[in-house]
């Protein structure tokens, strides 16, 4: 037996669309497929503007650059996240300030944000861990009262909702990832959601190496020029063509993952109720996307034994994240506000089970049995 932790999604039409991009003689950015993906995402998520990017990280970088931070400005975020959430704040010129997470969803604890706000705070970067939304009403209310921007790291939250609103469309900016480990993929890629049209033009400029080329292609100006800072954030059409095939099957992929997630949940609920381990919590106002299924074991020692047990049964289970405030760059560039009650302790207990589009029922049963055997 050999069950991978992740298999990149593939629905079948990817090659057809990539061939079409090649035959269009348009393999650089912003051709037919990039435009199709942008409008599909805008329409289906009711967003005013969405731009494909080269990664979730570059979408985060763009969002932070659009905030125009000054040196010394601070951005509040959880420490339990991927490094990109913090590196983008550094790229944007501000200082990351960590606060603790909630143990139930592993998301930023909305009740610890306000105490971390100083005269220099400019934004809150929330991470919708496992595609389960943060407590956005509370967070948006804090942001409004303190005049802060909200950046949603929705890398894992494509298709998830909070009170009926798609993640990424609630704050000022939303950032999606289409990395091969995410629900929808284009190899490496992502998208920036812009929820205020005042930022549309500068976003296009940042994405096109600091030039107003997008305006030129629309025929709004007769030559394009260098006007601002920027980088190359637009992906190749070849990648966009791969994603287009996946977006066409977005509901199928979502339903398939949700069904796998639910089967894990049902299989493990009795043992979770008996206190053997914990399983994910999804608050009633959140609809998730089956991005991840994890167990939280007693402690680091039990998790190590569990992952080794699964490995000896041919099942690959992984853990993450080493809290950013304890990493070398975190210690150098960031600070943690308040007490780390849950971030480190909870992160050391968490193990992720194989979860991907197309995981077969047989494989799922095999994984489930291997888990149950460990607790016998």
Ligand X SMILES: *Cc1c(COP(=O)(O)O)cnc(C)c1O
- Residues lying near ligand X in the complex (CB under 6 A) are found at 55-57, 81-82, 84-85, 127, 153, 155-156, 177, 179, 190
Whichever of 55 and 239 has its CB closer to ligand X, that residue is 55
C-beta atoms surrounding 357 within 10 Å: 23
Least distance (Å) between residue 321 CB and ligand X: 9
Whichever of 186 and 371 has its CB closer to ligand X, that residue is 186
Whichever of 55 and 289 has its CB closer to ligand X, that residue is 55
Find where tokens 């061939």 sit. 19
Least distance (Å) between residue 55 CB and ligand X: 3
CA distance 127 to 324: 13
- Asked if 171 and 140 count as a contact pair (C-beta separation under 8 A), the reply is yes
CA distance 171 to 173: 6
Least distance (Å) between residue 189 CB and ligand X: 7
Residue 232 CB partners (closer than 8 Å, separation 6+): 54, 207, 208, 209
Residue 100 CB partners (closer than 8 Å, separation 6+): 78, 79, 109, 112, 338, 339, 340, 341, 342, 343
Give the residue nearest to ligand X (CB). 56
Whichever of 163 and 320 has its CB closer to ligand X, that residue is 320
Whichever of 128 and 213 has its CB closer to ligand X, that residue is 128
Find where tokens 């796998």 sit. 260
Least distance (Å) between residue 269 CB and ligand X: 26
Least distance (Å) between residue 70 CB and ligand X: 24
Least distance (Å) between residue 178 CB and ligand X: 7
Least distance (Å) between residue 157 CB and ligand X: 9
| Rg of the chain over all Cα atoms, to the nearest angstrom | 21
Whichever of 34 and 57 has its CB closer to ligand X, that residue is 57
CA distance 9 to 356: 7
Whichever of 81 and 133 has its CB closer to ligand X, that residue is 81
Whichever of 14 and 363 has its CB closer to ligand X, that residue is 14
Q: Which of 180, 188, 166, 167 is nearest to 240 (CA)?
A: 188
Q: Which of 196, 230, 197, 240 is nearest to 62 (CA)?
A: 230
C-beta atoms surrounding 303 within 10 Å: 20
CA distance 128 to 193: 15
Least distance (Å) between residue 85 CB and ligand X: 5
């Amino acid at each position: 037996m050999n069950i991978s932790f992740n298999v990149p999604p593939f629905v079948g039409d990817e090659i057809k669309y990539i061939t079409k991009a090649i035959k269009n003689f348009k393999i650089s950015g912003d051709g037919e497929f990039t435009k199709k993906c942008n409008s599909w995402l805008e329409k289906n998520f009711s967003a005013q503007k969405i731009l494909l990017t080269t990664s979730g990280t570059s979408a985060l970088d763009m969002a932070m650059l659009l905030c125009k931070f000054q040196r010394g400005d601070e951005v509040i975020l959880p420490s339990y996240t991927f490094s990109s959430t913090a590196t983008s704040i550094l790229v944007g010129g501000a200082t990351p300030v960590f606060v603790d997470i909630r143990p139930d969803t592993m998301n930023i604890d909305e009740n610890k944000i306000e105490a971390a706000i100083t005269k220099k705070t400019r934004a809150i970067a929330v991470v919708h861990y496992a595609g389960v939304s943060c407590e956005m009403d509370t967070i948006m209310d804090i942001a409004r009262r303190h005049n802060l921007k909200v950046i949603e790291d929705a890398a894992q939250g494509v298709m998830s909702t909070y009170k009926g609103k798609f993640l990424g469309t609630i704050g000022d900016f939303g950032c999606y990832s289409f990395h091969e480990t995410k629900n929808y993929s284009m190899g490496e890629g992502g998208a920036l959601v812009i929820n205020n049209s005042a930022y549309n033009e500068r976003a296009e400029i940042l994405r096109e190496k600091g030039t107003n080329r997008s305006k030129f292609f629309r025929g709004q100006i007769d030559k394009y020029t260098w006007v601002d800072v920027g980088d190359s954030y637009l992906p190749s059409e070849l990648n966009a063509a791969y994603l287009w095939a996946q977006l066409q099957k977005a509901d199928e992929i979502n339903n398939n993952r949700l069904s796998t997630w639910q089967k894990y949940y049902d299989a493990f609920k009795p043992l979770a109720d008996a206190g053997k381990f914990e399983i994910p919590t999804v608050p009633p106002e959140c609809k998730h996307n089956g991005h991840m299924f994890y167990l939280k074991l007693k402690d680091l020692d039990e998790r190590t034994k569990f992952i080794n047990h699964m490995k000896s049964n041919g099942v690959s289970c992984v853990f993450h994240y080493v809290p950013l405030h304890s990493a070398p760059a975190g210690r150098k560039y960031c600070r943690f506000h308040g007490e780390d009650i849950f971030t480190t302790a909870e992160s050391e207990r968490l193990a992720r089970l194989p979860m991907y589009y197309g995981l077969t029922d047989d494989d799922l049963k095999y994984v489930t049995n291997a888990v149950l055997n460990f607790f016998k």
